[in-house]
Amino acid sequence: MVTKRRATHQTNQSSQSKLNFRPNTETPGWETKGKKPLPEPSSVKQVLLMMVLHVCRKTLFIDTSVKVAIYGASLFVISLLADVLPFPKTYLSRSDNILNQYFVKIGWFWTLFVTVPFLVMTSHTYCCGKRDKIMHHLARLLIATFTWFFWIKLFSYIESVCGHCNVKKYQTKETCLKGGYFWYGFDLSGHAFILIYSCLILIEEARAINGWEGIRDLIRNEEHARNIGDDSVSNNPLRGLSLEEFYILKESYDKFTPYIRFFFIAMTFLSILWDIMLLSTILYYHKMVEKFVSGAIAILMWFITYRYWYAIPRTLPNLPGEGVFKYKDVKQTKEVPQKRRNTTSVSGAKGQLPTFMGMPLYGLKTQEPKEQKDEDLDNETDIQAPMNK
């Protein structure tokens, strides 16, 4: 009976050994110690969102010099043609159309409505919650608001002083219009000014989103380095942050990023709307000189502030994206495990993560050739064999 039981026990062991034909291919803990953590896989929703953001970037971030040249040429050439050869009337030629009544006439409100939340959330993140630095960034919009208010009032004053009524007994613009008559003056186009100035402001303030998606990698790698006490990594821009600053950055980034993306998309659509309404203004309203002068003033104000004043080092206010650490134009190298450095990824490049529209697709893992997998299994079997003996 004892012999029979021993035979049965040996048979069960041999059966179990045959069932466990697949060797353990898990990487030992000591082999992964100190390596950077892998990013989370990208879902279909995230990929579609990245596609939308990519299209918005391509639409909004046209070379500003080219866009300014297009504005200047349109204000001169198309406006001159519209003065000589009036274009056919359309719905946009009516001053009571919906876009003109509810958007253009309160255009600066809509510009601030999408820009202020975007600026506050982005600056709160890359300034790590420091209120003085956030206020420095908000100062740009205060200056822009003062610029808009000053020039609009000046345009109205010039029209009142340099004009006359078609009935001589009325000497002021207010009394002339109240009497039901017409006031003829040098009517600088406030619409052309506000539409061009708003578009340029939207482009400049939206630049804070450049490199925004890469902050996630910076946070993940820095958090891992701090958890394991690795002081050898010095190329991460977040290395100089204190523990409190790093915690505020991580919390703000996770909290605000969905809203920042939404407002960036809204800024893109608003910029498109302003360009459409600018074309309507060029075709149907004001004279060429009135539109060209007001547009030139808008471009000049943008150039003085964003291209000269804010670009001076150590001068307030700063340009968008300048905070307590650098994240724009920071290129992170994706480390590949030693075992897979000679493998080919889905994108065809060796040792690299596949990308789509410039964004890494973390959900797609690198593929190993069949020969490499077999070689790895053989090596692990050779290592386990002496241990089993």
Active site amino acids: 191, 286
- In 159-314, beta strands by DSSP E: 164-165, 183-184
The burial class, CB within 10 Å (0-12 / 13-18 / 19+), for 359 is: middle
Determine contact, residues 117/125, Cβ cutoff 8 Å: no
Six-digit token string for 63: 């070379």
Cα-to-chain-centroid distance, residue 10:
66
Q: What's the CA gap between 246 and 332, in Å, rounded?
A: 18
Q: Cis peptide leading into 317, omega within 30 of 0?
A: yes
| CA-wise closest residue to 189 among 284, 294, 304 | 294
Report residue 116 as tokens. Answer: 């202020």
Which residue do the tokens 């291919």 mark? Answer: 25
Which residues are within 8 A (CB) of 321 and not within 5 positions of it... i.e. 6 or more apart? Answer: 122, 126, 207, 208, 210, 211, 327, 328
